[in-house]
């Protein structure tokens, strides 16, 4: 009597097309979106693609039966304000989710005030509540160095630091933490708290934008709002960028966005001040007059505008 047939257990694939895998996980779409969203930042985008490649290969290795520990995913983003750190953190959360390294793919963005209490017994509940919201996703801590204030003996930031360190180690399979801030201050923070540096695998520096890149950013922002520069307005705004970045508190793309908001306001008031009809072109064009009315070009240039 013939033995009944039994099906062989499924075997892991012996060959996988990595580019097809990248497309199927939709990570390629996220990387392309990052390219569209952010002007420049080539070193940052390259590093994000390298991390995505590492994680994709790790995922494929697992599917082929190769056992390995989950890579350390905590990160540090350093750079000046307005260089795209929060945007990149959002896209990184998407990448980690699509590759199966976090459960939910959301980003929780916080500062010291969200983590540190003002009196005894207040910090631990605040920090734990934030961590609870972030579990399964990414916790983005902006200006993280403000957690550490050694000059104040009664500061409760150290308590938040100790809780964060514990969770980053014990629950690293369910939470990714990204620390962000100025490079020099972050370096001092990590030297004072070596436990953080030892838990962070990826340190990414965000360079300032060049004048040409800031101009590209301005034009993209205006296009998204259905505005455009005329030739005189574009020339004036190039001069604005060169002058504004020499002033205090320049914040790259953030300062450009604020400047455009004020220029749109000046354009609107210019039209209100003149009787008669306005055309579609009038309502969508930023001229040199709208740009050069900024205090950046005046004797009061110490006050940015």
- Same structural domain, 47 and 126: yes
Phi, psi of 296 (to 5 degrees): -55, -30
Residue 76: give the domain boundaries.
18-206
- Same structural domain, 202 and 220: no
Q: Write out pLDDT tens, residues 256-268.
A: 999 999 999 999 9
**Residue 94: is its pLDDT beyond 80?**
yes
- Same structural domain, 98 and 138: yes
In the DSSP assignment, the letter for residue 205 is: E
Mean pLDDT of the chain: 90
- Same structural domain, 199 and 255: no
User: How far is Cα 167 from Cα 165, in angstroms, rounded to an integer?
Assistant: 6
121 contact partners, CB below 8 Å, separation of at least 6: none
Question: Is residue 52 included in any domain, yes or no?
Answer: yes
Question: Is residue 263 included in any domain, yes or no?
Answer: yes
147 contact partners, CB below 8 Å, separation of at least 6: 112, 115, 116, 141, 157, 160, 161, 189
Angle (CA) 36-39-44 rounded to 5° is 95
Q: Is 17 left (phi over 0), alpha (psi -120 to 50) or beta?
A: beta
- The shares of helix, strand and coil residues in the chain, as percent rounded to the nearest 5, are 55, 10, 35
Specify the CATH number for the domain of residue 261.
Answer: 1.10.8.60
User: How far is Cα 177 from Cα 196, in angstroms, rounded to an integer?
Assistant: 10
The residue from 142, 173, 206 where one domain ends is 206
The residue from 158, 188, 206 where one domain ends is 206
- Same structural domain, 187 and 248: no
- Same structural domain, 265 and 197: no
- Same structural domain, 40 and 160: yes
- Same structural domain, 121 and 197: yes
- Same structural domain, 237 and 103: no
Question: Is residue 10 included in any domain, yes or no?
Answer: no
Total structural domains within the chain? 2
47 contact partners, CB below 8 Å, separation of at least 6: 202, 204
Question: Strands (DSSP E) along 182-302, which ranges?
Answer: 202-206, 228-229, 285-286
154 confidence band (pLDDT: 50, 70, 90): confident
Question: Is residue 9 included in any domain, yes or no?
Answer: no
Angle (CA) 260-266-270 rounded to 5° is 145
Angle (CA) 58-75-122 rounded to 5° is 125
The residue from 162, 188, 206 where one domain ends is 206
In the DSSP assignment, the letter for residue 147 is: G
**Residue 10: is its pLDDT beyond 50?**
no
Specify the CATH number for the domain of residue 119.
Answer: 3.40.50.300
For the segment 239-254, the average pLDDT, to the nearest whole number, is 95
Query: H/E element holding 98?
Result: helix 85-98
Question: Is residue 5 included in any domain, yes or no?
Answer: no
209 confidence band (pLDDT: 50, 70, 90): very high
């Amino acid at each position: 009597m013939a033995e009944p047939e039994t099906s062989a257990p499924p075997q892991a694939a012996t060959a996988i097309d990595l580019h097809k895998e990248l497309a199927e996980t939709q990570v390629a779409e996220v990387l392309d979106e990052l390219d569209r969203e952010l002007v420049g930042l080539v070193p940052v985008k390259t590093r994000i693609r390298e991390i995505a490649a590492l994680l994709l290969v790790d995922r494929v290795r697992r599917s082929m039966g190769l056992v390995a520990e989950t890579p350390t995913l905590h990160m540090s983003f350093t750079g000046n304000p307005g260089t795209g750190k929060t945007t990149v953190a959002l896209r990184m959360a998407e990448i980690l989710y699509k590759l199966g390294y976090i459960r939910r793919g959301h980003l929780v963005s916080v500062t010291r005030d969200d983590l540190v209490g003002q009196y005894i017994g207040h910090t631990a509940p605040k920090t734990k509540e934030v961590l609870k919201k972030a579990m399964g996703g990414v916790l983005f801590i902006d200006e993280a160095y403000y957690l550490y204030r050694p000059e104040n003996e009664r500061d409760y930031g150290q308590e938040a630091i100790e809780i964060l360190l514990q969770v980053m180690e014990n629950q690293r399979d369910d939470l990714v933490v990204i620390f962000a801030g100025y490079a020099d201050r972050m370096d001092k923070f990590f030297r004072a708290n070596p436990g953080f540096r030892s838990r962070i695998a990826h340190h990414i520096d965000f360079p300032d934008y060049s004048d040409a890149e800031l101009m590209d950013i301005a034009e993209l922002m205006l296009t998204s709002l259905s505005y455009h520069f005329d030739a005189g307005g574009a020339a004036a705004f190039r001069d604005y960028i060169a002058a504004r970045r020499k002033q205090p508190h320049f914040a790259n793309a953030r300062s450009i966005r604020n400047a455009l908001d004020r220029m749109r306001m000046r354009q609107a008031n210019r039209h209100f001040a003149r009787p008669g009809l306005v055309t579609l072109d009038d309502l969508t064009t930023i001229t040199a007059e709208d740009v050069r009315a900024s205090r950046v070009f005046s004797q009061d240039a110490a006050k940015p505008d």
